[in-house]
Structure 1
Amino acid sequence: MQRRFALLRSRMKSASLAGLILFSQAQPGYSGAVLYVSRYRLTTRRGYVLLPMDSEPILFVAGETQKVNARKVSFITDIRSSQKSWGMLGELISAVKNLNLEKSKIGIVNMNTMPYNDLKLLSEELSTITFCDATEFFDQVRWSKSEEELELLRETAKILDGAFLKILDILKAGVDEREVVGEVVKHLVRNGVDEMIILSAKGPSFSGHLGRPEHHRFSPGEHYIFSVEAQGPSGYWSQMVRFISFGPCDEEYRDLFLAAKEVLREGVETLLPGVRIRDVVKKMVHAAHQRGLKIGEWIGHGMGVDLGDNLDVVITNENEITEGMVITLHPHVQLPKSEKGITLGDTFAVTSKGAESLSSVEIEVYTV
């Protein structure tokens, strides 16, 4: 945790910031800022952390229950609470004033997702402070994971591998998808997961676009795409997407699978420090078009303590890949004159020598 504070304060110093306010809400994809600096996962509503340049950080949560829970796990020892949003913000405003930061410049992380009234109140009560959006430099810090963080990500990936192997044990024609997903959820929860997203596509033929699991009894000759994203007990997310055939795989789908796997491989080989995100996308788009396939515009995202880590793998992303980044690639490809399509995916850690798959389950056509 001291490494994180040191990196953030170095960026704060460069930006002439006297403090940093980090905002999060208890929703996957938007909860990571507070978790990243405090180790506390919000259970409801929203929370803030104040990180001054020259004193200890303060965690602000809604309600006494969250305060009690935070004390059990948080690296931050100064934890303050209130039952009402105004009270929590009042605590934050009082802390800023008590630290004599009223005539300084303070950055706000996730400023564009803060409730309007929260930001309005801060601006009115602390009118002598210059507030600026500090989300970008916060993201730059959290994108590059330490070796300790990578080990925690590998732990989550191992749990997901176990979930997929569980599927192979119970999946067969005649079984309802809800039964399968129920067993997967039990496996995940038993291994410390409490946030997850399970998506799928199924049938003898489909576009490969993923949706919610449903009551569907599998039949021979069908195909199944299974995707699971989960936040492990350490708070770090990972994802895997695999393809399953009920009996011998349709020849056209096998060819489509092999083409999609090559498109994914082209992207993985481009995940190198110094390469721009957009160039990974261009490489994968070119690989798909070379094989006569359509490909979706959103090809992946980052992973960390936030689902997506506020890093989209899209052609407009100019950010450079850095060592320690963790990126999920999940290309969706489709035959141009057919409804047949497929999605494959895995999560990778960027090293100086290339990309390391966090999953030990091979990407292949699994037959049940």
Structure 2
Amino acid sequence: MENKKKVIEVLDKLGLDAVLVSDGYNMRYLSGFSGETGYLFISRNKSVIITDFRYTIQAKSESKDFEVVEISKGYMEPINELIASEQVKTLGFEDGSMIHRSFSGLKEKLHVEKLVPVNEELNDLRIIKTPYELECIRKAEEIGDIAFSKILDIIKPGMTELEVAAHIEFLMKTNGADKLSFDTIACSGINTSMPHATPSNKKIENGDFLTMDFGCKYNGYCSDMTRTIVVGKASDEQKKVYNTVLEAQLAALDYIKAGYQGKEIDKVARDIIYKAGYEGCFGHGLGHSVGLFIHESPRLSPTEEKVIRACMTETVEPGIYIEGFGGVRIEDLVQVTEDGHINFTKSDKKLIEL
């Protein structure tokens, strides 16, 4: 019940009687319940999962420390019963993950005096990863490494981007993945100039960059990695772009450790890319944390003032994207330590020419 203690600290800090949790990632983190529908009600005396018939057996199995309440006529009645029994006057809710319509329904139907937003307070509970979480993330990244090593034997000119993405996803799922962390990116040629290109029916040609950005979940925890290769022989300009990105990534990896602001780490890679003549070609942040959700806080970006601490996870993924030419991104996933990092991504980063 360590996580319950953390929630009680939030209640004390904000002067709340209870909190209503609706974000699926926070629900799983706090209770273990991985169902897709429901609420957690947590007060100082009660820990309750409120869900429907589809998930009650699952909730009882996954969340031994929580009472499970099955709804019959919607959520408001059982929530109000808990509010009454716990004499709740001030209730926390997750403003960052709730649409206006849902909030309006709570405000209209719940019998409380005050609703207080608590989104960042609950999200921040997940920032520092436990040994169990770090091991799940490491294992998920290991599955990605396996997929990358195997996809290199499959890729050939004439394959479509969609085929490459499908093979990567198959390889991850047949090597232990629960599901995908996000939709796989596999883009080639000039499509690599788009950081989040959607795989298409474009066929891979000799001389193409091929960028593959993919990840999977293991016990609910995400991985994330990117590798860019050349199918065929790389041109001098391709080599220059690739080696600049690699230099920037290696420098950031050498620099990263607990105690720096996210923007300080981002600057190390960004300065190298800009000084090489590619200012304006690196339009996203250097990285982000990874956990139950693929894009967690804190980030490595020009505006991130949060300090990076030990046992946080961060991606390190500089890139250069040139319209009409193509682009390169190289991404590793690391655990931050007091004096450096542990890199979970083992795949080679030298320029691969297939």
CA apart distance, 1:65: 1.0
Which 5+ residue runs of structure 2 have no aligned equivalent?
none
Shift in CA distance, 339/179, structure 1 to aligned 2, threshold 3 Å: closer
In the alignment, is residue 351 of structure 1 matched against residue 340 of structure 2? no
Residue deviations 1:298-350 (CA, integer Å, cap 9, x gap): 33221111121254433222211121111123222246x97443222121111
Instruction: Give me the whole-angstrom Cα distance separating, in 1, the residues matched to 2:98 and 2:153.
Output: 45
Instruction: Give me the whole-angstrom Cα distance separating, in 2, the residues matched to 1:135 and 1:308.
Output: 15
Which 5+ residue runs of structure 1 have no aligned equivalent?
25-30
Q: What percent identity do the matched residue pairs reach?
A: 19
Match of residue 58, structure 1, among 44, 48, 65 = 48
What SS is found at the alignment partner of 1:170?
A: coil
Aligned partner of 1:27 in structure 2 is none
Residues 277 and 315, structure 1, Cα contact 8 Å, conserved in 2: yes
* Matched AA of 2:337: T
CA apart distance, 1:42: 2.8
Instruction: Give me the whole-angstrom Cα distance separating, in 2, the residues matched to 1:128 and 1:39.
Output: 27
In the alignment, is residue 225 of structure 1 matched against residue 211 of structure 2? yes
Moved more, 307-316 or 242-251: 307-316
TM-score of the aligned structures, taking structure 2 as reference length: 0.90
CA apart distance, 1:127: 5.2
Equivalent residue runs for 1:125-144 within 5 Å = 125-126=109-110, 128-144=112-128
* Matched AA of 1:34: M
CA apart distance, 1:175: 2.9
Instruction: Give me the whole-angstrom Cα distance separating, in 2, the residues matched to 1:339 and 1:169.
Output: 26
CA apart distance, 1:18: 2.4
Shift in CA distance, 362/340, structure 1 to aligned 2, threshold 3 Å: same
What SS is found at the alignment partner of 2:168?
A: helix
In the alignment, is residue 186 of structure 1 matched against residue 177 of structure 2? no
CA apart distance, 1:33: 1.1
In the alignment, is residue 313 of structure 1 matched against residue 300 of structure 2? yes
Give the paired residue count.
350
Residues 199 and 228, structure 1, Cα contact 8 Å, conserved in 2: yes
Residue deviations 1:257-291 (CA, integer Å, cap 9, x gap): 11111222233334322211222223332222122
Instruction: Give me the whole-angstrom Cα distance separating, in 1, the residues matched to 2:345 and 2:64.
Output: 30
* Matched AA of 2:22: F
TM-score of the aligned structures, taking structure 1 as reference length: 0.87
Match of residue 115, structure 1, among 99, 102, 110 = 99
Aligned partner of 1:156 in structure 2 is 140
Instruction: Give me the whole-angstrom Cα distance separating, in 2, the residues matched to 1:312 and 1:93.
Output: 38
What SS is found at the alignment partner of 2:34?
A: coil
Shift in CA distance, 263/147, structure 1 to aligned 2, threshold 3 Å: same
Residues 192 and 321, structure 2, Cα contact 8 Å, conserved in 1: no
Residue deviations 1:194-240 (CA, integer Å, cap 9, x gap): 234201220278525331212233222222010002222x1011100
Equivalent residue runs for 1:266-277 within 5 Å = 266-277=251-262
User: RMSD of aligned C-alpha atoms?
Assistant: 2.3
